[in-house]
């Protein structure tokens, strides 16, 4: 199984916290030319690496891909169906800025084949939205979610916590409010202040406070999610599915019944596309700065496309991939870093015996299990609540020679 990611680099304006490869849209865009180039790159992936495997998800990210005309999205999905084995129940997600969509466009997108929306709400406090550089208001975000729910049954929203000047009590109130929206999935991310962002300059100048360095926001988020029936199936991702909801032990979720999270496909509303990343499946990235991981002879190859949009357009006329075979060490570390974030954990059978021996995995897992940081079965290892609270320490421990 594999997935396809389409990166649209343009947005209406750059959010102050954003460190992604995105640029404000200026002037007229030749969508026909861009579409042709995206298809060129996808065709080259098919020629070089595609092994007739199922494509289980397509994800339009950015940037703000909801700025794309509907025909672009529709034709691209049709092209994937024509050239690849896109499964009939494939998850097809579009990232949406509340300012860039209405119910008419939503219905057209659904007709085009989109079946899941990821709406960038980020906050429902207007003052904080301005501080984050968002172009929408809290009322516009709320109206967007409710309007989209009349068209789509599978809706996720993004929220950011531990914002400058934010108090845990106000985050609790805000999160409880948005969990009453008609959604079945939420991605809640802690604000990471990256260099070369406007919010970093605002903090350095003293205009806003630095985010808290405690884990209390994260603990509060987990507790609220659990109390409202949202299953934390990855560190920042929660799905409302009572059948898989976490039980309670020691104030946090117990990560149990690991195999259910490795079902193919995972049940809605669990985000199938991102699960493919955490399970370290192959994915084809298309667009400026996009990354890919493909398997050749059971070895992973990393591919990164030119980041600059103008350079990418030139490259896309005759795309030649810059292929970087991952070393055994690199692949081992990526599997650990990605897999431990996921409730389904890591498939131990995917590690080579030499990597297991080099990193003394057998003894390290025994030690972690004795300290109640992990649970294991014959095939998988996953973190407990105590382990997820020490995620970075566990990763460093496992990946240290």
CA distance 200 to 205: 9
Q: Quick one: 11 and 132 in the same domain?
A: yes
Last residue of a domain, one of 278, 312, 338: 278
Q: Is the pLDDT of residue 128 over 70?
A: yes
Q: Quick one: 357 and 209 in the same domain?
A: no
Q: Is the peptide bond before 63 cis (omega within 30 degrees of 0)?
A: yes
- Tens of pLDDT, residue by residue over 34-78, are 999 999 999 999 999 999 999 999 999 999 999 999 999 999 999
Q: pLDDT tier at 291 (50, 70, 90 boundaries)?
A: very high
Answer yes or no: is 71 within a domain: yes
- Would you state the pLDDT for residue 255? 45
* Full-model pTM: 0.94
Q: What is the CATH number of the domain that holds 201?
A: 3.80.30.20
Q: Quick one: 90 and 231 in the same domain?
A: yes
Selection from 103, 80, 104, 99 nearest residue 91 by Cα: 80
Answer yes or no: is 92 within a domain: yes
- Would you state the pLDDT for residue 249? 33
Q: Is the pLDDT of residue 177 over 50?
A: yes
What b/e string do you get for 53-91 counting C-beta neighbours within 10 Å, with b at 16 or more?
eebbbbbbbbbbbbbbebebbbebbebbeeebbbeeebb
**CA 345 from centre of chain:** 16
Last residue of a domain, one of 278, 305, 321: 278
Q: Which residues contact 28 (CB under 8 A, 6 or more apart)?
A: none
Candidate from 46-60, 148-162, 241-255 with smallest mean pLDDT: 241-255
Q: Quick one: 39 and 125 in the same domain?
A: yes
CA distance 226 to 242: 10
- Tens of pLDDT, residue by residue over 195-237, are 989 999 999 998 888 888 889 999 999 999 989 989 899 999 9
Answer yes or no: is 214 within a domain: yes
Answer yes or no: is 339 within a domain: no
CA distance 280 to 256: 20
Nearest 5 degrees, angle CA 69-CA 107-CA 140? 80
Looking at the DSSP bridge assignments, the partners of residue 6 are 60, 286
CA distance 399 to 401: 6
Q: Quick one: 358 and 250 in the same domain?
A: no
Place of tokens 């259910």: 260
- Would you state the pLDDT for residue 257? 61
Q: Quick one: 266 and 396 in the same domain?
A: no
Residues spanned by the domain of 164: 2-278
Last residue of a domain, one of 225, 254, 278: 278
Selection from 270, 237, 272, 233 nearest residue 59 by Cα: 272
Answer yes or no: is 123 within a domain: yes
- Tens of pLDDT, residue by residue over 346-380, are 999 999 999 999 999 999 999 999 999 999 887 89
Q: Is the peptide bond before 269 cis (omega within 30 degrees of 0)?
A: yes
Per-chain mean pLDDT for the chain: 92
What b/e string do you get for 369-397 counting C-beta neighbours within 10 Å, with b at 16 or more?
eeeebbbbeeebbbbbbbbbbbbeebbee
- Would you state the pLDDT for residue 379? 87
Q: Quick one: 167 and 249 in the same domain?
A: yes
Total domains in the chain come to 2
Answer yes or no: is 333 within a domain: no
Answer yes or no: is 341 within a domain: no
Selection from 94, 44, 51 nearest residue 285 by Cα: 44
Answer yes or no: is 234 within a domain: yes
Query: Secondary structure of the chain in the HEC alphabet?
Result: CEEEEEEECEECCCCCCCCCCCEECCCCCCHHHHHHHHHHHHHHHHHHCCCCCEEEEEEEEECCHHHCCHHHHHHHHHHHHHHCEEEEEEEEEEEECHHHCCHHHHHHHHHHCCCEEEEEEECCCHHHHHHHCCCCCHHHHHHHHHHHHCCCCCEEEEEEECCCCCCHHHHHHHHHHHCCCCCCEEEEEECCCCCCCHHHHHHHCCCCCCCCCCCHHHHHHHHHHHHCCEEEEECCEEEECHHHCCCEECCEECCCCHHHHHCCCCCCCCCHHHHHHHCCCEEEEECCCCEEEEEECCEEEEEECCCCHHHHHHHHHCCCCCEEECCHHHHHHHHHHHHCCECCCEEHHHCCHHHHHHCCHHHHHHHHHHCCCEEECCCEEEECHHHHCCHHHHHHHHHCC
Q: Is the pLDDT of residue 126 over 90?
A: yes
């Amino acid at each position: 199984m594999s997935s396809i990611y389409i990166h649209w680099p343009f947005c209406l304006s750059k959010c102050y916290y954003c460190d992604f490869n995105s640029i404000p849209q200026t002037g007229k865009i030749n969508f026909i030319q861009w579409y042709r180039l995206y298809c060129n790159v996808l065709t080259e992936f098919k020629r070089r690496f595609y092994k007739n495997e199922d494509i289980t998800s397509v994800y339009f990210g950015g940037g703000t891909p909801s700025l794309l005309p509907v025909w672009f999205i529709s034709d691209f999905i049709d092209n994937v169906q024509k050239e690849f084995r896109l499964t009939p129940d494939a998850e097809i997600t579009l990232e949406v800025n509340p300012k860039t969509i209405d119910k008419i466009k939503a219905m057209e997108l659904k007709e085009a084949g989109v079946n899941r929306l990821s709406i960038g709400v980020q906050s429902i406090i207007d003052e904080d939205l301005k501080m984050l550089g968002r172009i929408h208001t809290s009322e516009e975000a709320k109206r967007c979610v409710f309007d989209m729910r009349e068209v789509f049954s599978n809706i996720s929203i993004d929220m950011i916590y531990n914002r400058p000047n934010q108090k845990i009590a106000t985050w609790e109130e805000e999160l409880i409010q948005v969990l009453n929206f008609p959604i079945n999935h939420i991605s809640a991310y802690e604000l990471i202040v990256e260099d070369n962002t406007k919010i970093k300059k605002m903090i350095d100048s003293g205009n806003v406070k630095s985010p808290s360095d405690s884990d209390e926001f994260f603990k509060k988020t987990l507790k609220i999610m659990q109390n409202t029936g949202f299953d934390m199936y990855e560190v920042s991702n929660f799905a409302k599915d009572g059948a898989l909801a976490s039980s309670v032990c020691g104030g946090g979720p117990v990560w149990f019944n690991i195999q259910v999270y490795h079902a193919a496909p995972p049940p809605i509303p669990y985000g199938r596309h991102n699960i493919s990343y955490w399970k370290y499946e192959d994915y084809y990235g298309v667009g400026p700065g996009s990354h890919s991981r493909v398997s050749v002879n059971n070895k992973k190859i990393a591919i990164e496309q030119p980041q600059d949009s103008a350079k990418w357009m030139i490259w896309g006329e005759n795309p030649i991939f810059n292929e970087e075979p991952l070393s055994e060490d690199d692949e081992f570390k990526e599997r650990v870093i990605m897999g431990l974030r996921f409730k389904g954990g890591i498939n131990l059978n995917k590690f080579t015996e030499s990597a297991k021996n080099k990193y003394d995995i057998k003894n390290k897992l025994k030690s972690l299990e004795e300290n109640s940081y992990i649970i294991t079965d014959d095939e998988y290892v996953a973190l407990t609540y105590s382990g997820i609270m020490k995620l970075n320490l566990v990763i460093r421990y496992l990946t240290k020679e």
